[in-house]
Structure 1
Amino acid sequence: MKKHYGLTLIEVLIASIILFMTLGLVAVVFQQNFATQLQSVKYINSLADYNTIQANIRYELEQKKVKGDITTVNNKYSWKAEVISAAPEIRGFSPETGAKETGAGFLVLYNITISSESAITYDFRQTIWQISVD
């Protein structure tokens, strides 16, 4: 009787199934890694814009504007500010009566909402000194 060398059809099918399952798992891992990398790049670009955006908004608030658009290298942003509270500037206290001595201006606390084209929304608060509250 002759001995046959080689693989049977069942062995080839099982090896193929194992190979394709492994390749599928590796593809899923790479796809998730790529998606995470894209999200990280968007987040890093947004953070790179943050200082520029905050400085522009502060300047606009000092000019008494409460909404606007800012375009940076990475994205376009829209912002809106709402006054939370305004209080007179306290320059000191009277030594005789202990009463507050107010200055010429007001400290205004704004709640600022920034939204971008990539559907990222930021909220923060900013205090601005102004001569008068409108």
Structure 2
Amino acid sequence: MNISRGLTLIEVLVAAVILFAALSLSVVSIQSLRQSSAQAEKIIKTLQPTRMIALSIQQKIRSKPEESLSGSGRINKLTYSWQANVIAKGSAPQRFDLDSGSVSVPPERFWLYQVDLELSYAGRTEQLQFKELAWLPLVF
């Protein structure tokens, strides 16, 4: 009677195929994670200075309100351009003058802008939109 101890060639081959399949799946997963991480880093670097850019745009709009404004700039490797257009105008509420008995209508001093902002970093472009409020100086 022959009693064999150990593994047969077929058992070793099946185990090797299973091992190599698991290894190849893990390599593909790691590559996918690295690509996702690189994309996330580009998105973060593109959007990170957005608040600072928005505050700069706000300051430019409020310092010199016009019907249409635009600009561009560069922060490190990030380039941006923006366009702002008035989408609505408004005034303070009407006031009733008790002495004269008439209603006074204030001039339209408040302008609402639609701002379109384009950010570009390392071949990736993001389009953002926001609204900004500005007001004209009060003239007596």
Q: TM-score, normalised by structure 2?
A: 0.73
Pairwise mapping of residues 59-98 of structure 1 onto structure 2 (< 5 A)? 59-62=59-62, 63=64, 64=66, 66-88=69-91, 90=92, 93-96=95-98
CA distance in 1, matches of 2:102, 2:5: 104
* Cross-structure match for 2:133: 127
Contact 1:87 1:108 in 2 (8 A): yes
Structure 2 unaligned residues grouped into runs of 5+: none
Q: TM-score, normalised by structure 1?
A: 0.76
SS at match of 1:66: strand
CA distance in 2, matches of 1:106, 1:56: 21
Q: What is the percent sequence identity of the aligned residues?
A: 26
Letter in 1 for 2:119: S
Match status 1:109 vs 2:115? no
- Structure scoring higher RCO (CA < 8 A, sep ≥ 6) equals 2
Aligned residue among 96, 99, 103 for 1:99: 103
Letter in 1 for 2:15: A
RMSD (Å) for aligned C-alpha atoms? 2.8
Contact 1:68 1:79 in 2 (8 A): yes
How many residues are paired up?
130
Change (3 A) 1:4 1:54: same
CA distance in 1, matches of 2:12, 2:33: 32
